[in-house]
Each structure stands twice: as structure tokens, then as C-alpha cells.
Amino acid sequence: MLQNFLRLFPAGSEAGQVWQSLIQAHTADAGRLAALQTGYFQQQIALWGSMLARESGAATTPSNTADGDGDKRFSGREWRDSPYHDYVRQAYLLNARFLTELVETAGLEPPVKQKLRFYTRQLVDAMSPANFAATNPEALQLALETNGASLHAGMRQLIEDVERGRVSMTDEAAFEVGRNLAVTPGEVVFENALMQLIQYRPATAKVRERPLLMVPPCINKFYILDLQPENSFVRYAVEQGNTVYMLSWRNITEDSLGGLAWDDYIEDGVLKAVEVVRAISKSEQINALGFCVGGTLLGAALAVLRARGEDRVASVTLLATMLDFTYPGDIGVFIDEASVAAREAAIGKGGIFSGKDLAFVFSALRANDLVWSYVVNNYLKGRTPDAFDILYWNADSTNLAGPMYCWYVRNMYLENKLCEPGALSMCGVPADLGAIGLPTYILATREDHIVPWKSAYRSTRHLRGELRFVLGASGHVAGVINPPAKQRRSYWTNDRLPAESDEWLAGATETRGSWWTNWDAWLQRFSGGERAAPKKSGNAKFKPIEPAPGRYVKVRV
């Protein structure tokens, strides 16, 4: 039976090799496999019997051998009203359960089991009967009600998405950067080949003495932090009296920029932004914030500054950031020596790593939510997806310079050198995170599939100084973009920082609402008093170039 699964994967592929390891593990314990198969067959026989009883009238209610309660894919009443589709649904859920149990009971090393979990989930998600017109009763009913118009509309959207090269997740006509996204007032006050620096206009008569520099991820556009006014983190920070600066990364679309390295992103990106912000604000020290890869770059840049003996930052905020890549989560499935070496050979000395490839990886981590639900909605039901600003941003891909990407993946994900003192040299100096020694606010989110919160917690092992770790509800983006006015979700705090994340959570206190207010109260302690708000952006040396959000962020791939 297990051998049949190998036929689903190309010979010699990593997925095929991982499945082969599963077969070998269960072959070594035939009794365990026999017990699993016996239980599976008994459940399938019981399901078949309940369906026959229902067909003959002996049973009048849907069977519940594998009810799948809470599964949004099967929430429509059509799945239970029809004996056929009720059987298809439950047979699928039994199959999914059996495959999951095969993986979980196999005696395998953790890295192999992690890959098996991932590949099994991808297979199970893809084979859902909800994903196929012939076995989705909701799609069939809608096709009957519309005389096939829904299927016609779905085919048209499928053709458009094939041309676009991705599955549409939102009504993209509803948004435009600079029109209703990234509209917090400000000016670009500096630019080089790699980035633009935006200074936002003050919203208060007095501002905090120390300005705040935000470093967003270079693998996505900065406006995740400045969406619409009601959920803009930038606007909130400005309204609290901060003079906010934003680093806007260049979308690498030109071969001439394909040779940029990790050190360039630090020196000409983060450190140059720090220099310009200090010059404009006339402040010896600034506060700095990094999100995701932006936080990794910021941590690396601060280690460089410390190695140079320069004290230019007063406090650090790290949002959904990994500095220790020991447990990278499901992203680690895509990264091994062979794949990294292949990338290095292709683009390690020059070239462009496509943002669309990155977007595919991130979508695959949550395929049911970010792929298959839209396949069903857009193609089987012919519906246009709702307008959602976060998903518009998610589809606005950003390319990276090949050398930078390859260096990052090898030294962080594959070899995990950043958290090892002196193991990495960046910008000509050895890096030591422990030497940074700054007050640091670390936010992780509980359902983050890109930066697992327990991995983010490991930063507390390597950083020194006053540390505050906060755990937000929801995922990588929704957990970060959680404005206080909406009074949604919650966050957990614990002043103690034990070595293990589970111990920290066991002693944590949950607070309803947004972590933003908690962060602002913390940041205020390092703001250095108040002064009159600047009347204009920039200064004599760094004059405004163009209005925010600038040109760089509008370049699409």
C-alpha cells in the first residue's frame, strides 16, 4: 500500500526519498504498520456501512465517522445533505488521518519527520475533494443555479491568472500604492541605488527627541507597515509623537544591481539610513525597529556598529524576527546543502532571485488558506476574491540580488552563524549579537508560519541588556498589524525570561487588545524627552526628493 505513494513523486526527488524513508521505518516495525492499516480498514468499512444504511433509509442523518467539524472546506450544508458527497468528504478525512498517523508514528529523525509532515500536508491539502469541480457539491449547485455561468467565469479567471503567473487572492483593482495604500504624509529625503529613505510629517505639535527608524523586510514592500490609515502602524507611531523614518528597499529588476551582497544591504541600506536619520534629526542616538528579515538585517547592522565601537542606537524593536535559525519551521524544508549550492552556482556571483519564487514558498506554507481556498472561490465558483489590503501587499513581490540572497540563506538558515559570536564577519568586522547590549523589545506571534514564535524567543538567549518579549495572537502579518482601535486579538507578557519558551508562556499573562500600546509605553522610556516638531522634512544637505511613498515601492514584478 505504501509503495503506491512513491508513484506520486518523481524518481530521485527529495519528496520521493523522504517517502522512501517512511516506508523503511514502517517496514522495520511491521506490527505497528499492520495495526494502523487494520484500524484504517475498519473505519472505511464502518463508513461504507453507514452510507449504505442511509441510502436504504435505515439511517436518516449524515454519518460522522470522520466529521471534520470546524473544517471550512466542508462547512456548506451540501456536503452533508448529499449521501454521496458526505461519503466522499469523510473518506477523504479518513485517508488524511491515516497518512498523518503514518508519519507521526514512524521512528524517524526530527529533520526527516519535519519534511514528511510538510510533504504529507501538501499532498493531503491538494487532494481534497473540495478542490475539484466533480466532487465539490457547492460548485456543482452554483453551476446549476447560474446555468454554467459560474464555471465560465471561473475559466476566464483561471486563464487570467495563468497569464499573471499566480493565483489571485484579492481584488487588485481596489488598491493602488500612493492612492489608498502607503498614504501617510511624508517625503523621500535620501536615495541611493539600493534604497530610499522616507521621513514622515509630524502629527503632533511636539515630538519625541529621538527619531524612530523602521527597517522593513527586503523580501516584501515596506507598506505592510503603512497600509490604509485605519491600520497603519506608521501612522500610529507618528500620532504618538515619533518622528518616523522608513527605509524603502529597491526592487531589484535590473541586472546591474544583481551583484549586491549582504554587506551592501547593511552598509548602503541600514547603516546609511541610520547615518542620514542622525544627521537630519541632529540626534546622537536614534531608536530602531526591524520587521522579519528587516529585523535580521538590523540585528546584523547593530553588531557591526558595536564591533566598530559606535554607539548610535538607543533601543531596538524586533518584530517577528529570527536571529537564531536553529528551528526555522517549515521554511527549512526548502533549504538544504544541495539546494543552496545550486542557487549559489546560478546566482551567487550575480543575478536576481525572483520575488515570485519567494511568494510561492510562503503560500505553500499555508496552502489551504493561501492557495486552495482561492482555487475553489475563483475557478470552481467563478467569484472575484474580496478586496483585502494585506493580500494585495502579499502579491506585490520584490526581487532580491542573488549574492545577497545566497549569503543570507547559507549563513543564516543553513549554517546558523549569526547567533554564534565571531562566526560571521560582516562589513569587515566580526559579529557578536551579545555585544549589542541595547534595550530590546521582541514581538513574536503565536501562529507565525514564517518565524515560529519559539524561534523568535531564542533571541533572548543571545541578546544582552534590558529585554522584553511579547507574544501576539494570530500570524506573521495579522498579528503584527493589529491597531488598538479595533480591539481585536490579545497578547501575552511575562517579565521573566526563562531559558525555555514553554516555561515563559506558562507564566505569561494575557491582555486583550493590541500590543501596539504596550510597545509605545516601552518606547517612550527611550525617547529622550520632547522638542518642537520639525516644520519641514530633511535639512540643507538632505533635501526632499519626492513625496512619500516614493518611486522604489511602486516598481512591480
Residues acting as catalytic residues = 292
Diameter over CA atoms, the chain: 87
Closest among 441, 487, 479, 482 to 460, alpha carbons compared = 441
Q: Are 556 and 395 in contact (CB under 8 A)?
A: no
CB 79 within 8 A of CB 85: yes
Q: How far is CA 325 from the centre of its chain?
A: 15
Residue that the C-alpha cell 507564566 belongs to: 507
Q: Of 236, 200, 275, 209, which is closest to residue 526 (Cα–Cα)?
A: 209
H helical segments located in 387-535 = 389-394, 402-408, 453-457, 459-462, 501-506, 515-524
Radius of gyration of the chain (CA): 26
Distance from C-alpha of 207 to C-alpha of 195, rounded to nearest angstrom: 26
Give the contacts of 370 (CB within 8 A, at least 6 positions apart): 169, 362, 363, 394
Whether residue 504 contacts residue 493, with contact meaning beta carbons closer than 8 Å, is answered with no
- Could you identify the residue written with the cell 546566482? 347
In the numeric block, the cell 547593511 is attached to 266
Distance CA 61, CA 211 (A): 65
Q: b/e map of 399-426 (b: 16 or more CB within 10 Å)?
A: bbbbbbbbbbbbbbbbebebbeeeebeb
The helix/strand/coil state of 272 is helix
What 3-state class would DSSP assign to 207?
A: strand
DSSP state of 38: H
- Indicate the residue type of 236: Y
Question: What string of DSSP letters covers 57-88?
Answer: TS--S---TT--TT-GGG-STHHHHSHHHHHH
CA nearest neighbour of 398 among 265, 261, 249: 249
- Cell readout for 304 is 557591526
Name residue 212's beta-bridge partners. 244, 287
Rounded CA-CA distance 191/246 in Å is: 12
